[in-house]
């Protein structure tokens, strides 16, 4: 299963999302979608799993949950927009992570691309950075990776361009 992952679009659309996510089976958005139009365009292209972020309004909060836990090809995934990092998980999600660690924890919010393995809990953490133009980040990013029988491989970082 090939996954296309993005976060923090803040309502910004780039046609390259579809070009880079063409080989993907699903698209995951880790919050701060910013508009229903962005969600609709992604969902029309590939199956979309998403969580709402702190800037998302009531329309997106009705459509997507704050926290999403699901299993894909043998890997349990937990996604929340504000989540922190291994060793410094946000208090709003730390209890869920510690009680039942997923194989993959996905978050956004920081606009900082980071992939880190939590050796203590045996989980991979991915924050895809920010794909939109709003925020302090300098380069917009997307991530692609594969899940096969509960293992992760072929992780790619895609730099779209400077803001």
Would you state the pLDDT for residue 134? 86
Measured distance CA(37)–CA(156) in Å, rounded: 26
Would you state the pLDDT for residue 145? 98
Would you state the pLDDT for residue 136? 81
Measured distance CA(131)–CA(119) in Å, rounded: 28
pTM of the prediction? 0.96
Would you state the pLDDT for residue 152? 97
Would you state the pLDDT for residue 137? 85
Contacts of 44 by beta carbon, 8 Å cutoff, 6+ apart: none
Select from 156, 145, 150 the least CA-distant residue to 103. Answer: 150
Q: How many CB atoms lie within 10 A of CB 79?
A: 29
Would you state the pLDDT for residue 115? 97
Structure tokens at 15: 């046609």
pLDDT along the chain (163 residues), means of 10: 98 97 98 98 98 98 98 97 96 97 97 96 97 90 97 96 63
Measured distance CA(28)–CA(45) in Å, rounded: 12
């Amino acid at each position: 299963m090939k996954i296309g992952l993005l976060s923090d679009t803040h309502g910004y659309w780039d046609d390259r999302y579809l070009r880079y996510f063409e080989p993907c089976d699903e698209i995951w958005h880790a919050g701060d979608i910013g508009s229903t139009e962005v969600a609709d365009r992604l969902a029309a292209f590939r199956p979309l799993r998403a969580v709402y972020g702190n800037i998302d309004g009531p329309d997106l909060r009705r459509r997507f949950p704050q926290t999403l836990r699901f299993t894909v090809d043998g890997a349990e995934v937990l996604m929340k927009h504000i989540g922190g990092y291994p060793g410094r998980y946000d208090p709003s999600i730390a209890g869920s992570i510690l009680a039942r660690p997923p194989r993959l924890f996905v978050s956004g919010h920081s606009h900082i691309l980071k992939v880190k393995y939590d050796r203590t809990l045996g989980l991979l953490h991915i924050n895809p950075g920010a794909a939109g133009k709003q925020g302090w980040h300098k380069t917009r990013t997307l991530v692609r990776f594969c899940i096969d029988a509960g293992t992760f491989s072929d992780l790619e970082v895609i730099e779209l361009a400077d803001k």
